[in-house]
Amino acid sequence: MTLLEVSGIHARYGSIEALKGVSLEVAEGEVVTLIGSNGAGKSTTLRAICGLTPASEGKIVFGGEEITYVPAHEIVARGIALAPEGRHCFPRMTVRENLDLGAHRRRGPEIAEDFARVYELFPQLKERARQKAGTMSGGEQQMLAIGRALMARPRLLMLDEPSLGIAPLLVERIYETIAEINRTGVAILLVEQNANYALEAASRGYVLETGRVALANDSASLRDDPEVQKAYLGT
């Protein structure tokens, strides 16, 4: 079943049109990736879906309901959460306080279950629960950004450049955790500069070029495509 359907969306930053008719789909429980060069519109696509950079044209449907012009905070409540590029943890707040923010739209005993789940996925966060987020490494802050998004209990988790600026060993651990999250039934829409990681993690992918979808296929086919290899896989 289709969970997210994006149809012909356009988005602008002032006079600059960043998205020029992007369409994509994510099924329930699926991992889908967006790959492309810097400035292709990958992050803007995620921002449009979650309402941070509203679409000026087109349509976004989530769980059978249109959310194109729904406010960002309401989109979170409906089941979409974003771990943004650059992590954007609150540096003067503790790990625990950052995670609390992820659940600020929710009430009830399930929140304690979600804390336990995040700490199980990322034991380092439990060990550093009282530590200021700004004193942690980039990899640990990325874990915190993903954990904070999970505290919203999303049906769709959107990850923007989770490997950016992180040591290779930690990147591997984060991708192992992404697979664990997906196995629980959470669908994932992944933006990743490292196309090798992205296509390994996802079942399908879209290649964005200058605000448009240039190519869409299953991950194996994209990995074998000569143009994708040349432009994004370093082969």
Greater confidence (154 vs 139) lies with 154
How many Å apart are CA 179 and CA 160, to the nearest integer? 16
* Secondary structure (3-state) at 2: strand
Q: What is the mean pLDDT of the segment spanning 217-225? A: 94
**What would the two tokens of residue 145 be?**
């950004």
Greater confidence (134 vs 30) lies with 30
The pLDDT value recorded for residue 235 is: 59
Strands 2-13 and 57-62: antiparallel
- From the CB of residue 223, how many other CB atoms can be counted at a distance below 10 Å? 18
- CB distance 235 to 199 below 8 Å: no
* Secondary structure (3-state) at 145: helix
The pLDDT value recorded for residue 81 is: 95
The pLDDT value recorded for residue 212 is: 96
**What would the DSSP string read from start to end of 167-233?**
-HHHHHHHHHHHHHHHHTT-EEEEE-S-HHHHHHH-SEEEEEETTEEEEEEEHHHHHH-HHHIIIII
Per-residue pLDDT tens digits for 77-133: 999 999 988 778 888 899 999 999 888 776 777 888 899 999 999 999 999 999 999
Residue 138 confidence (pLDDT) above 90: no
- Burial group, residue 116, by CB count within 10 angstroms (0-12, 13-18, 19+): exposed
**What would the two tokens of residue 129 be?**
């629960």
pLDDT band with cut points at 50, 70 and 90 for residue 153: very high
Residue 234 confidence (pLDDT) above 80: no
Strands 2-13 and 187-191: unpaired
Question: What is the CATH classification number for the domain harbouring 156?
Answer: 3.40.50.300
Q: Which domain range does residue 107 map to?
A: 2-233
Q: What is the mean pLDDT of the segment spanning 206-222? A: 95
Detail the DSSP E strand segments found in the chain. 2-13, 16-27, 31-35, 57-62, 65-66, 80-83, 156-160, 187-191, 204-209, 212-218
**Tally of structural domains, the chain:** 1
**What would the two tokens of residue 97 be?**
């306080």
Residue 194 confidence (pLDDT) above 90: no
Mean model confidence pLDDT for the chain: 92
**Which residue bears the tokens 């409906």?**
78
* Secondary structure (3-state) at 133: helix
pTM: 0.91
Per-residue pLDDT tens digits for 14-72: 999 999 999 999 999 999 999 999 889 999 999 999 999 999 999 999 999 999 999 99
How many Å apart are CA 69 and CA 156, to the nearest integer? 18
How many Å apart are CA 154 and CA 127, to the nearest integer? 24
